[in-house]
Amino acid sequence: MSNKMWGGRFSERPDAIMEEINVSIDVDRHLYAQDIAASKAHAAMLAAQGIITAGDAKNIGKGLDTILSEIDKGSFDFKRALEDIHMNVESRLSELIGPAAGRLHTARSRNDQVATDFRLYVRDTIDEVDAALAAFQKALVERALEHASTVMPGFTHLQTAQPVTFGHHLLAYVEMSARDRGRFADARKRLNESPLGAAALAGTSFPIDRAATAKALGFDRPMANSLDAVSDRDFVLETLSAAAITAVHLSRFAEEIVVWTSPLVGLVRLSDKFTTGSSIMPQKRNPDAAELVRAKTGRVIGALTALLIVMKGLPLAYQKDMQEDKQGAMEAFAALSLAIRAMTGMVRDLVPDEARMQAAAGEGYATATDLADWLVRTLRMPFREAHHVTGRIVALASERGIALHELPLQAMQEVEPKITADVLKVLSVESSVKSRTSYGGTAPRNVLSQAKAWAKRLEKERKWG
């Protein structure tokens, strides 16, 4: 018995294993809304061009609306024997309106159909991710405003480096997220061309209006080359690339939360809302939400790598390998969305231990650079010489087991006689952060200004959106 979707040429049914490896409905069923929207646009265009009657187009539109409602309500019967979302929809449409359903596939192929559907899906995903990242930024900005003057240790090599403010640290992730949003916006701009009407690979002899369907679906224009239209998956790769970079940013922040919440560090606390306990150790409070955000980054990067491998050896035009473009991407986008929301929740939930942060900010001789800068600024000493003098003073404090600001002035003068009592004013962590007034620096007034600017920018985006 021939297959009714692509029968005629075939007289036998596919082997059961062939059917199993070929079926995609378990994945592409998630494209149902996009598939129906594209079909409605296509039918309307066919009628406008006189390719099908207005009556058939009207019945097709009504039938597609019924199918959309059935799927939304969960009453639609997805059939694996029909392979994919396109044929499941068309088969049900035939049951609803009869032979007119068969006219819907005029001047198109499943090749341009799936390319269109997936572009619409990825575009919708980008919009959702952008909104989630904006909410993440808003949470960060709100906490940055709250902690513009809260001193904490800044690290390089996970060693105490210089004091910064907690608000300044949080705003670093606002900037990262802005770049992430920019990459998604760039990807959206490039993907926003319509493959519909490219048909199988060569276009069609029917007098279709591709510009009309592109406009109806919110695309900027139709794709200019039919071969490229059906075989391109750059839009998925580019969006996955943006997703992978975003996930890496989230993972870096998650790692910091894991470190900060450790009792050995103790800079911040998370409540019961974002921690879990141990089945055997009753005292434990594990930062599992942060750890899982860190882990989901692997899923996103893996999806990007997998699709690159799928695409790397494919000649033009469509190949069945490209059926594997969806599952990994969909799972990656879902993982990223969950990770963003989890990080947003943790940002709102975390409570910094301000006393511990301030104490830690002064550990490890974190204001040594301030001493060197004072030597340059006040004594007009070349920086390299000031660096050397400061190193000797730090070594002296270390030998005595005291903090830099606790070292007697006389001891400093034994290293450099020209040092005066004025130097003691720059050795506190508060003085250190206040002095970092260069653009982009950690001075509280800088942080407050930047946080307010971001709050205003995000509020304006919300109003425009």
Catalytic residue IDs? 157, 278
User: Smallest Cα–Cα separation from 217: which of 39, 5, 429?
Assistant: 39
- Token output for 281: 């150790």
Give the N- to C-terminal CA distance of the chain in Å, as an integer: 54
Spatial separation of the C-alpha atoms in residues 401 and 298, rounded to whole Å: 44
Q: Which residues contact 49 (CB under 8 A, 6 or more apart)?
A: 206, 207, 208, 209
Phi, psi of 355, rounded to the nearest 5 degrees: -65, -45
Angle between helices 444-464 and 166-191 (to 10 degrees): 30
Q: Output the CA angle 96-102-103, nearest 5 degrees.
A: 115
Spatial separation of the C-alpha atoms in residues 347 and 448, rounded to whole Å: 18
**CA–CA distance from 43 to each of 118, 230, 275 (Å)?**
19, 20, 52
Spatial separation of the C-alpha atoms in residues 334 and 132, rounded to whole Å: 12
Spatial separation of the C-alpha atoms in residues 463 and 6, rounded to whole Å: 50
Angle between helices 32-48 and 85-97 (to 10 degrees): 60
Long-range pairs, 1-10, Cβ under 8 A, ≥24:
5/82, 5/83, 5/87
Amino acid at 33: A
User: Within 13 Å and on the Cβ side, how many CA atoms surround 386?
Assistant: 17
Spatial separation of the C-alpha atoms in residues 181 and 336, rounded to whole Å: 13
Phi, psi of 155, rounded to the nearest 5 degrees: -120, 145
Phi-psi region of 53 (alpha: psi -120 to 50; beta: other; left: phi over 0): beta
Cβ atoms 352, 166 nearer than 8 A: yes
Spatial separation of the C-alpha atoms in residues 292 and 335, rounded to whole Å: 10
